[in-house]
Structure 1
Amino acid sequence: MKNILFSALALCLALTAAAQTPDNNASGYAFTDVKILPTTPVKDQSRSGTCWCFSTLSFLESEIIKAGGEPMHLSEMWIVRHSFMDKAEKYIRLHGSLNFAEGGASHDVTEGIKAHGIVPFEVYPGLNYGTEKPDFHELSVVLKDYLDAVLKASESNKPLSTAWKRGFNAILDAYFGELPETFTYEGKEYTPESFAASLPIRMDDYVDISSFTHHPFYTRFIIEVPDNWMWGEVYNVPLDEMMAIIDNALEKGYTVSWGTDVSEKGFSRTKGIGVIPEADLEGMSGTEAERWGKLTDKEKEAALYKFDKPGKERTITQQMRQEAFDNFETTDDHGMLIMGTATDQNGTPYYKVQNSWNTVEPYDGFWYFSKPFVAYKTTSIMVNKQAIPKEIAKKLGLK
């Protein structure tokens, strides 16, 4: 098993290293990787809305590597299954006034490990319903309908039965498989709690960061997004400091768990990129500017989002971020892992990101996002506290 894991890591590193030379898979863009941090291989969340878990466990797996531990694949469905149970209890306590869905956040993973421990993927794949990859199209409906039926039965002012949790847990057992109390890994016997304690990382070392003006900077607040069912808090910093934290983390060899919005027109699945383009009027000749001025709004938009070559991007401000969040233009719809830096053929910097949508083209499951995209569309990040610049950490009261 150990050899398999090292081989998988070597393959992953080989794939990322392969892009050290310009890559023209995406027409018009040629990326050269600048700094690539070790990660475990790209995974596939398939038909499940659990990117938050896949991205955060990939983040923790990279943290284990950085701390000198052996590469390993931690069980996503261990966390997801426990999350469903914890979420169900809160959903019932709030009489259904909670977003009970597949989504979540990075702190769901770290808090879940604190509460329930963790196991390797081999110990608990959590695929007990006939597919080789996660598929929640039936599961989510079944779980929600069960809880709603429990709530409906309580409308008669009768107390909840003592059976509803056992019933819900039985459904989880049926779909995910029964939870092991002990297991053997690499020749040693563990409980989920003792395995978590054996890892060279500690969940208290990780914090969530965001940047919005509807709360004071350098304070903590419960980020108001539907998937934050746990009501987890983030540290609030100005935009330039949030970006400085990302850059400092990568420079020091720490990856970043990234919550973002990929519903933007500037995100292209087929091209493997995310940008926030803007018309370069100053760079246009008189004839080009005149031609641009005659285009309809629809034609201008089509021209901006052709992804045929790198171009000018918008300068992102704190106000722009806030307005997009307040207007629901920025939503918490995806989680990924920022694990490196790159440049395009013009020398413009990008972040290299590992996704959990399998090893798809054009970059084998990795993506490139411009700094303006990350500045504009980040909902929150999770980082190791040691990755935060000291002057910012001091403002946040972190040690």
Structure 2
Amino acid sequence: MSEPAQAAQGQSPENPYPVRAVAIRVAGWIDKLGMVWVEGQIAQMNIRSGSSTVFMVLRDPAADMSLSLTCPRDLVASAPVKLTEGTQVVVLGKPNFYTGRGTFSLRVNEIRAVGVGELLARIERLRRLLEAEGLFHPRLKRPLPFLPNTVGLITGRASAAEHDVTSVAAARWPAVRFAVRNTAVQGPNAVAQIVEALRGLDADPEVDVIVLARGGGSVEDLLPFSDETLCRAIAACTTPVVSAVGHEPDNPLCDLVADLRAATPTDAAKRIVPDTVAEQALVDDLRQRSARALRNWVSREERHLTQLRSRPALAEPMRMLTARTDEVTRALAAIRRDVTRFLTGETDRIGHLRARLSTLGPAATLARGYAVVQAGSRVLRTVADAPEGTELRIRVADGAVTAVSQGGSSD
């Protein structure tokens, strides 16, 4: 049986590459990239005394990524703008992999500053992108609380903006409380620190509103506040955010994303807490207006009651009865007279009817000497009704007698 073929170098633990071989190959691959233009923000710059090489770190403002740069000292000295931490630049360099240390860097041959016009154009492009995503829509704006429990303040350490916000707010409402987070407000580290402070305050249940405050400055100084990462972090907050960056003409993108844009830090202090004096004056005015309204209502009701009491029906409630007493008396007398007259007339009529009835009745006839002869229950009308031997009952005025018929005879 033949022996198995040996694996290629670097493909098995039995036939590994040495470190130098891997380093040389990586350096060869990177060397094939050629020259590239790279834009970023200078995060660190190390100029060593007596060294002809300057070491820098170029950071991507929109992401947590960076590159190491090396460039000749003369190139830094002759740069079109003074290079400091936070400067936005475009560099031309050659990617290099240093095999001795196993590190990657960009060897810079040319440095160009990003002009204000280009910065503004990029900010405008980002503004259109965020607007298209709806981050500026008014429906996303959260209302500020009337009286916040705690105000979160993100600003530079011992800055004029911090003094303006805290002093003006305390003068307006002495009981106001602040949770201050001091961060860098310009330079390469500003965005990361501000975003971290923003998320911490947003997670604090005691904080009811967050103020992002900074004084004025150039476009480059205010560049972190137009950073996409910061804008999205503000939009993701559940706590209302007030942007008080720069002065009135300044308009970084965070102003458009925030729930409220204040012209200055002082204006932000006036927006987040009410003015004690103004609120007390409002309360006093409302009390006076309510008291005046109550007094007017009472006066109006009193006048209404006075008018009701002055009406004849209420002023002299028995007057109508008194005025009608004679009329009622006359009506009662007329009713009694008419009833009496009616009863008298009816009594006389009944008397006449009784007399007539008595005259026409059988009792009156019997009293005049007549008699009623009955045979059983029948009244005799003819002689034939009482043949001989019929028992007869003869009724007279004062009683009745019985007799026996002896037969009839004609007169």
Class of the TM-score when normalised by the shorter of the 2 chains: under 0.3
* TM-score, length of structure 2 as denominator length: 0.21
* TM-score, length of structure 1 as denominator length: 0.21
- Which structure exhibits the higher relative contact order, with contacts defined as CA atoms closer than 8 Å and separated by 6 or more residues? 1
Larger radius of gyration: 2
Greater share of residues in strand: 2
